Structure 1
Amino acid sequence: MAFSIKSFFAADKTDAVKFENTDIQYQSGFSDIWNIAKSYMTTKRLHPAPVVEVPVQPITATSLSFSNEDQLFRLGHSTILIRLDGDYILLDPVFSQRASPVQWAGPKRFHQSPISIEQLPPIKAVIISHDHYDHLDKSAITELSDKAEHFVTPEKVGDYLIEWGVEPSKVSQLSWWQELTIGELTLAATPAQHFSGRGLRDRDTTLWASWVIKGTNSNLFFSGDGGYFSGFKEIGERYGPFDITMIETGAYNEMWSQIHMMPEQSLQAHIDLNGSEFESSVLMPIHNGTFDLALHDWFEPLEWISDLGEQANVSVITPVFGEPVNVASPQKTQAWWREMLSNDEWILQSQ
């Protein structure tokens, strides 16, 4: 098993240095926990999870060889496989069946990954945004330890990887605004409005980050998790505009909007990151479609952000899991989730 119950309850880092957000110091008390619990008990949803198979386009070594272009492949939730300049980069690899401290309980996957870790090509760099279980998967890290050349994390998150057996020389830990160059690849850890913790007593003892990923011809932004904050404009001023922004759009609720953006905020973040050139950039919503982590219907984030993008003249792409996206010329994608609902269900949902 990839997790120890004892470590979850016993890990005590209460004396460790605590990281803080730049805009809002997020705190949650008993009343917040009670309100959230009450909402989970009383909210009725039509579609908390898919009832038919989620479409997945398998990825194989042969399909990866079809093109030499810079490409993105969404594998699930916030896990993205990227090819830049012929090298492969893997973002927040989560391949376990549950986004949970244990594999016998917790949010279960709606679909399988389009490619297994064993089938992955050699990975130049694995990039981690923060230590939450739906972004940092111990089992995946241990399987990737020999397949990946570099592991790049926010400050202190890399300590987990080393503890799990990754060679320390492979691990780079960055603070906000620090950069790392690997060949032609430039990685920059940029701020995010979030929090961290894998146990009961290690809150905010590791850093969280968004990432700028820049190759020879492509400039990408990966939000990780976070609420909307003024930092998006500064990131855009320093590193933008971006060809594609991969921005969290899912697991949101007004009760925790300080740490997870509502869809209209995800759209605004994309605009902030690209300034006046936002119409020439593409937004790919992530953090949705794989796990049930909130109170909205499973497909709502995809529908909501697609509608907002159309209204604001922002190009939003929603590829099927495993579908290749060419960075230089991303094609228009289909609303594949609509095909999973009957006409009666769709009419009822739209009312």
Structure 2
Amino acid sequence: MKTFILSTISILICSFVGACTLNKELVATIDNEEPSSRHYYDGKFQNAVHSEPPSLGKTLGIFARYFTEKKVDAVPNERVPVQPVTREQLDALSVDGVHLIKLGHSSILLKMFGEYWLIDPVFSERASPFSFIGPKRFEPAPISIEELPPIDKVLISHNHYDHLDQAAVKALNAKTTLFLVPLGVQGDLKKWGVSNDKIKQFDWWQEWQTKHALIAFTPTQHFSGRGIGDGNKTMWGSWVVKSDERSFYFSGDSGYFSGFKDIGHKYGPFDVTMIETGAYDKDWADIHMTPEESVQAHIDLAGKVMVPIHNGTFDLAFHPWYEPLNRVRQAAALNKVVLSTPEFGQVFTLDAAPIETVWWKETP
């Protein structure tokens, strides 16, 4: 419990309910043998930059804030723009480049030189272990899993409910060739019916050369856990994809740390960085960045165009839903960073000019 930093109310509720019921279905599983990683010791995966785990008192204090602190504009009072996506539209996209479509929160659909890839696909109505409580989507995804074409690769950054969706994994299993996951997450996928030969697991800095690109799993400053007793039993991280023609970076979730410079030195520059920009707070500043830190991470990574993700879909913190996008836009302008802000469902091609639509609420 002391190491289970709670970034959303659903995960917090899950912990307290789990503590009473010991519901094993809410506890992530890993293979029986200890993970072989130098980042795994004392029975848990560890961040490269050591930070003290929160006390039980602080965790309870965060829990109390959810019930006592007044939120302002936590959810939109109007429809968030979503451009519907069709199979025909996807198939019409060229096969000699990289096309990116934000599906909501941190979920990304890629058409990568003709192959379809998904990153952190979350399609469920709630980012929660429960169907009746927890953060609810502002809008449905622009395309359903049933309408998606066959998926060559699904990449998962970590096992939190707003990044690893059990229902989505089960639905995608029949049409997905391979799932790429951090160490330990294979236990969840196998439990949900994915065969072992369809799972490839990664440690930090591990690389894999595919037909079209080099894929590398890189560090972040975060944590993992889906229920009581499984804190940091699985790994977390970010993804680097580099081909001869194009390269991009997907941050997953992270606090700001020196690792971004290390990744930039090893794999940069990047044509596009997809950087977490949202769900930050003073009470968990070490594991989620502010928008200003997100821009600095993009600079550290030697990125050319930054796409802010992890916003506009769920209420996961105390700030207004539009604040991350306002702040990142201001920080990008101050630092002369090129920002691309496509609507959900809008196609952004890596060769094309950045999309500068201000589709969110600019001012309170």
Deviations along 1:68-108, one digit per CA (max 9) or x if unpaired, are 13110000000000111111110001000000011111000
1:343 matched residue in structure 2? none
Deviations along 1:282-312, one digit per CA (max 9) or x if unpaired, are 1111111000000000111111101110111
For normalisation by structure 1, the TM-score amounts to 0.90
Residue 245 of structure 1 pairs with residue 268 of structure 2: no
> What's the RMSD between the two structures over aligned residues?
2.1
Residue of 83, 90, 100 corresponding to 1:64: 90
Return the alpha-carbon distance in structure 2 between the equivalents of residues 67 and 300 of structure 1: 33
Q: Matches of residues 250-261 of structure 1 in structure 2 within 5 Å?
A: 250-261=278-289
Return the alpha-carbon distance in structure 1 between the equivalents of residues 99 and 28 of structure 2: 40
> Given that residues 26 and 258 in structure 1 are in contact (C-alpha distance below 8 angstroms), is that contact kept between their aligned partners in structure 2?
no
| Large movers: runs of 4+ above 4 Å | 8-13
Displacement, 1:51?
1.4
Displacement, 1:11?
7.0
> Given that residues 8 and 200 in structure 1 are in contact (C-alpha distance below 8 angstroms), is that contact kept between their aligned partners in structure 2?
no
- More displaced stretch, 31-40 vs 301-310: 31-40
1:291 matched residue in structure 2? 314
2:254 matched residue in structure 1? 226
Runs (5+) with no aligned partner, structure 1:
340-345
Residue of 142, 148, 152 corresponding to 1:124: 152
> Given that residues 277 and 328 in structure 2 are in contact (C-alpha distance below 8 angstroms), is that contact kept between their aligned partners in structure 1?
yes
Return the alpha-carbon distance in structure 2 between the equivalents of residues 100 and 11 of structure 1: 14
Return the alpha-carbon distance in structure 2 between the equivalents of residues 124 and 35 of structure 1: 43
Residue of 178, 186, 190 corresponding to 1:162: 190
Displacement, 1:338?
2.6
Write the letter of the residue equivalent to 1:27.
P
For normalisation by structure 2, the TM-score amounts to 0.87
> Given that residues 84 and 218 in structure 1 are in contact (C-alpha distance below 8 angstroms), is that contact kept between their aligned partners in structure 2?
no
2:353 matched residue in structure 1? 330
Return the alpha-carbon distance in structure 2 between the equivalents of residues 42 and 216 of structure 1: 52
Deviations along 1:301-349, one digit per CA (max 9) or x if unpaired, are 111101110111101111110000011223332111138xxxxxx3xx2
1:30 matched residue in structure 2? 56
Write the letter of the residue equivalent to 2:59.
I
Residue 321 of structure 1 pairs with residue 341 of structure 2: no
**Compared with structure 1, are the counterparts of its residues 163 and 12 closer, same or farther at alpha carbon in structure 2 (3 Å cutoff)?**
closer
Residue 150 of structure 1 pairs with residue 154 of structure 2: no
Runs (5+) with no aligned partner, structure 2:
1-13, 35-42
Return the alpha-carbon distance in structure 2 between the equivalents of residues 324 and 132 of structure 1: 26
The SS at the match of 2:353 is coil
**Compared with structure 1, are the counterparts of its residues 9 and 235 closer, same or farther at alpha carbon in structure 2 (3 Å cutoff)?**
closer
Return the alpha-carbon distance in structure 2 between the equivalents of residues 26 and 78 of structure 1: 27
Write the letter of the residue equivalent to 2:207.
E
